């Protein structure tokens, strides 16, 4: 569907972003798809159409903890309406063809609360991946702009914010199977509440990629970055990772980037693992199984001078039931550990989050589907002011014009 097109419209490092924010129903910090799905395993999400693509999502859900509160959960019925417009031209595969490619989309989401009308809002999301590919060179831009207002697990309340992700990348195919890339990027988290902490990252990157075979691609990536957080000194990062895209069989796909990052802060330096990976398997035509894993460091938007490590795994299965029905089950676990990296303060907060979401999808012709879903999630925090229990039950209509 058109929403899948938008969710997959970014490639490369900028694509390793907050997949739950692509859902019009559930918008929290939990990552459930660290990398974009892979071609050849799940054809539905990789259905490409040239030109303009229009769609809309309408959902209604009962949520027993709309603000992710630890002590005063508030229930409400939430309706979301999200028109979607997307455009595609060309193929952004770096190893095939020549010419211009564009993949982009925009989705505003109106959020309406039955009992808490003063919290009504419109979220915005725009994504763009565009560039030019010649015989031996490639230039591309990947960017995202989001204006969001949902409650987050870290803050435990509605959090209005702007997020910008921008990257310029140039590649040179030095030999038939070898490409050298250089890139520069700038990411910003801007919170509208002055009580929250803004941050931004500027980075440069060099990568070498090697196509070992039509089904195997290897890479080595070095990134240097400067991370600026309001109220703290700059953080300097050096990151080295290895990358692999491997499709050993037609219905098995693996995408993995893993390595380590050294980060220098006001209070010293530390080295932490970096992981972003996805495994997909279609054991038969009607079934798709996936597993995601991720590990990274983030700056706290709520606790001054603190960073937190994010480590998690999620998995799911999709089973087609006849020609029109599909059943899905997704679940995951994430652990966030906080550390004081600038100034003095009491660090040590730890959040342990998990979720489980079964759903049943009914295809309505060629252009629509209707989803019934239930989601249970839980966050056990060592800080009694945070953490939550949440249950959501709802219905979602996805239509492509």
Each residue of 340-393: pLDDT tens digit?
A: 999 887 778 999 999 999 999 999 988 999 999 999 999 999 999 899 999 999
Q: Nearest Cα to 180, choosing from 194, 169, 168, 167?
A: 169
Q: How confident is the model at residue 23 (pLDDT cuts 50, 70, 90)?
A: very low
What does the DSSP assignment read for 330-390? EEEEEEEEEEE-SS------EEEEEEEEEEEEEEETTTEEEEEEEEEEEEEESSTTS-EEE
In the numeric block, the tokens 């709520």 are attached to 302
CA dist., res. 350 & res. 309, Å (int): 10
Tokens of 306: 């603190």
DSSP 158: B
Q: How confident is the model at residue 15 (pLDDT cuts 50, 70, 90)?
A: very low
In the numeric block, the tokens 């019009």 are attached to 24
> Looking at the predicted structure, is the pLDDT value of residue 31 above 50?
no
- Residue 30's pLDDT is 34
- Residue 90's pLDDT is 85
User: Which residues touch 252 (CB under 8 Å, ≥6 apart)?
Assistant: 41, 279, 280, 281, 282
Region 303-321: what's the mean pLDDT? 94
CA dist., res. 129 & res. 86, Å (int): 12
Region 208-231: what's the mean pLDDT? 94
- Residue 44's pLDDT is 46
Task: Pick the range with the lowest mean pLDDT from 91-95, 143-147, 359-363.
Answer: 91-95
Q: Nearest Cα to 10, choosing from 224, 167, 220, 174?
A: 167
Chain CA centroid to CA 199, Å = 18
Whether the CB-CB separation of 163 and 191 falls below 8 Å is answered with: no
Give the bridge partners for 57, in sequence order: 82, 398
> Looking at the predicted structure, is the pLDDT value of residue 320 above 50?
yes
* DSSP H or E stretch at residue 2: helix 2-7
- Residue 322's pLDDT is 87
Summarised one tens digit per residue, pLDDT across range 154-195 is 988 899 999 999 999 999 988 888 999 999 999 999 999 999
Q: How confident is the model at residue 271 (pLDDT cuts 50, 70, 90)?
A: very high
Domain boundaries, the chain: 2-400
Most confident of 12-16, 52-56, 213-217, 239-243: 239-243
Count of positions (residues) in the chain: 401
User: Which residues touch 177 (CB under 8 Å, ≥6 apart)?
Assistant: 210, 211, 212
Whether the CB-CB separation of 252 and 283 falls below 8 Å is answered with: no
> Looking at the predicted structure, is the pLDDT value of residue 255 above 50?
yes
In the numeric block, the tokens 């995951």 are attached to 332
User: Which residues touch 40 (CB under 8 Å, ≥6 apart)?
Assistant: 46, 247, 250, 251, 253
- Distances 256 to 165, 217, 325, 333 between C-alpha atoms, Å: 21, 11, 31, 19
CB neighbours of residue 153 within 10 Å: 20
Q: Nearest Cα to 93, choosing from 48, 144, 133, 51?
A: 133
Whether the CB-CB separation of 315 and 330 falls below 8 Å is answered with: yes
Give the bridge partners for 236, in sequence order: 226, 264
- Distances 399 to 82, 105, 244, 383 between C-alpha atoms, Å: 10, 16, 35, 42
- Residue 189's pLDDT is 95
Region 83-100: what's the mean pLDDT? 82
Q: How confident is the model at residue 49 (pLDDT cuts 50, 70, 90)?
A: low
Does 95 or 106 have the greater pLDDT score? 106
Region 46-52: what's the mean pLDDT? 64
Q: Indicate the average pLDDT of the chain.
A: 87
- Return the SS3 of 117: helix
Region 55-78: what's the mean pLDDT? 94
Q: How confident is the model at residue 50 (pLDDT cuts 50, 70, 90)?
A: confident
Region 259-271: what's the mean pLDDT? 95
Region 44-69: what's the mean pLDDT? 83
Region 29-35: what's the mean pLDDT? 33
- Residue 25's pLDDT is 39
Does 18 or 287 have the greater pLDDT score? 287
Region 48-60: what's the mean pLDDT? 86
* DSSP H or E stretch at residue 283: strand 268-284
> Looking at the predicted structure, is the pLDDT value of residue 1 above 90?
no
Give the bridge partners for 87, in sequence order: 52, 104
Summarised one tens digit per residue, pLDDT across range 204-217 is 999 999 999 989 99
Does 401 or 21 have the greater pLDDT score? 401
| φ, ψ for residue 22, nearest 5 deg | -80, -10
CA dist., res. 350 & res. 334, Å (int): 11
| pTM listed for this prediction | 0.85
- Residue 347's pLDDT is 77
Q: What architecture (CATH level 2) is domain 2-400?
A: Beta Barrel (2.40)
């Amino acid at each position: 569907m058109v929403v899948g097109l938008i969710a997959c419209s970014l490639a490369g490092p900028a694509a390793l972003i907050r997949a739950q924010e692509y859902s019009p129903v559930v918008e929290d910090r939990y990552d459930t798809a660290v990398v974009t799905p892979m071609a050849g395993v799940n054809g539905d999400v990789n259905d490409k159409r040239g030109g303009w693509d229009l769609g809309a999502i309408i959902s209604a859900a009962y949520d027993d903890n709309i603000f992710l509160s630890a002590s005063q959960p508030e229930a409400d019925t939430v309706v979301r309406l999200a028109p979607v417009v997307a455009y595609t031209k060309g193929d952004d595969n770096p190893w095939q063809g020549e010419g211009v490619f564009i993949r982009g989309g925009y989705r505003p989401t109106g959020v309406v609360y039955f009992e808490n009308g003063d919290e009504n809002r419109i979220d915005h999301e725009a994504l763009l991946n565009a560039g030019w590919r010649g015989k031996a060179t490639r230039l591309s831009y990947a960017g995202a702009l989001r204006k969001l207002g949902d409650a987050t697990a870290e803050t435990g309340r509605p959090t209005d914010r702007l997020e910008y992700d921008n990257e310029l990348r140039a590649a040179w195919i030095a030999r038939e199977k070898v490409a050298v890339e250089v890139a520069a990027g700038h990411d910003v988290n801007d919170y509208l509440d002055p009580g929250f902490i803004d941050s931004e990252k500027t980075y440069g990157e060099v990568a070498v990629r090697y196509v070992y075979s039509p089904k195997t691609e290897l890479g080595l990536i070095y990134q240097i970055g400067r991370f600026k957080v309001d109220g703290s000194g700059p953080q300097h990062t050096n990151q080295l990772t290895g990358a692999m895209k491997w499709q050993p069989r037609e219905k098995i796909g693996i995408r993995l980037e893993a390595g380590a990052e050294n980060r220098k802060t006001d209070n010293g330096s530390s080295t932490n693992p970096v992981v972003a990976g996805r495994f997909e398997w279609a054991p038969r035509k009607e079934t798709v199984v996936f597993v995601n894993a991720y590990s990274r460091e983030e700056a706290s938007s709520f606790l001054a001078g603190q960073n937190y490590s994010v480590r998690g795994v999620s998995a799911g299965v999709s089973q087609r039931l006849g020609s029109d029905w599909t059943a899905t089950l997704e679940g995951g676990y994430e652990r966030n550990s906080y550390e004081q990296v600038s100034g003095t303060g009491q660090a040590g907060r730890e959040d342990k989050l998990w979720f489980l979401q079964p759903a049943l999808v009914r295809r309505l012709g060629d252009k629509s589907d209707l989803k019934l879903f239930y989601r249970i999630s839980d966050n056990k925090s060592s800080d009694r002011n945070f953490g939550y229990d949440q249950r959501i039950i709802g219905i979602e209509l996805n239509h492509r014009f």
